[in-house]
């Protein structure tokens, strides 16, 4: 963590605008992932729809658990379930989150963070995905880092962004800041 970032973390509340400062590249532009998936924290890989449906690739990566953050069969969702992965033996967990302003992802964050935590405690390797691995899946992983690694939202986002270009949508950033205030209000 940089000295400036450390000072910001101590002296000011996390806000969606401060998170944007972490997300934007040097030219103040959004950037997109350059690869199908990235290990953003030990044994946690974020990716999109294509690798999520490539079971042989997931086996080669050593994946044991799948978290589908966009379960469904409509456009913008990934239609996989426990049955889809039955032949390779992956454990499966899903939420039906929409990547839309106004969608409340907050109720899903703690249970999903707990699932990831239990998977890792059992020696597992978790593939967390949505359609592109850009908004929903990173939001869930950031929440895991906040809940179980006790990271401030800015530190968690910085950790994920150091490995994969991500940008939770504005609504998710706001909800992550609410979660941050709730988790760290006594610090």
Q: What domains can you pick out in the chain, each with its CATH number?
A: 39-184 (3.90.190.10)
CA angle 27, 30, 36 (to 5 degrees): 125
DSSP state of 62: T
Residue 70: φ, ψ to 5° = -140, 45
Report the C-alpha gap between 72 and 45 in whole angstroms. 21
Cβ of 96: how many Cβ atoms within 10 Å? 12
Count the Cβ atoms, other than its own, within 10 Å of residue 147. 19
Position 16 confidence tier, pLDDT thresholds 50, 70, 90: confident
pLDDT of 30 above 60: no
Q: How far is it, in rounded angstroms, from Cα 92 to Cα 78?
A: 13
Q: What is the rounded distance in angstroms from the CA atom of residue 138 to the CA atom of residue 161? A: 9
Please compute the mean of the pLDDT values over residues 39-44 and round it to a whole number: 98
**Mean pLDDT for the chain overall:** 89
Q: Which active-site residues does the annotation give?
A: 130
What's the confidence (pLDDT) of residue 185? 81
Burial of 55 (0-12, 13-18, 19+ CB in 10 A): middle
- Nearest C-alpha neighbor of 48 from the set 70, 75, 15: 70
pLDDT in the model for residue 144: 98
Pairing, β 65-68 against β 91-94: parallel
* Residue 2 pLDDT class (50, 70, 90 cuts): very low
Is the pLDDT reported for residue 32 higher than 80?
no
Mean pLDDT of 38-44: 97
pLDDT tens digits along 108-146: 999 999 999 999 999 999 999 999 999 999 999 999 999
Check residue 125 and give its pLDDT: 98
Highest mean pLDDT among 7-11, 24-28, 150-154: 150-154
Q: Which helix (H) or strand (E) holds 182?
A: helix 170-184
Radius of gyration of the chain, Cα coordinates, nearest whole angstrom: 16
Higher pLDDT, 138 or 186: 138
């Amino acid at each position: 963590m940089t000295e400036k970032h450390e000072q910001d973390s101590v002296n000011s509340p996390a806000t969606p605008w401060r998170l944007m400062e972490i997300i934007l590249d040097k030219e103040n532009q959004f950037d997109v992932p350059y690869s199908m998936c990235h290990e953003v924290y030990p044994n946690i890989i974020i990716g999109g729809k294509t690798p999520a449906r490539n079971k042989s690739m997931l086996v080669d990566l050593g994946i044991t658990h799948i978290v589908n953050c966009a379960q469904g069969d409509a456009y913008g969702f990934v239609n996989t379930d426990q049955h889809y992965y039955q032949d390779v033996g992956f454990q499966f967990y899903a939420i039906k989150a929409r990547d839309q302003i106004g969608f409340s992802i907050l109720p899903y964050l703690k249970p999903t963070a707990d699932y990831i935590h239990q998977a890792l405690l059992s020696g597992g390797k978790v593939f967390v995905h949505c359609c592109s691995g850009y908004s929903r899946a990173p939001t869930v992983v950031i929440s895991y880092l906040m809940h179980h690694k006790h990271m401030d939202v800015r530190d968690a986002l910085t950790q994920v962004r150091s490995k994969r270009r991500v940008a939770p949508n504005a609504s998710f950033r706001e909800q992550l800041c609410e979660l941050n205030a709730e988790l760290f209000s006594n610090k």
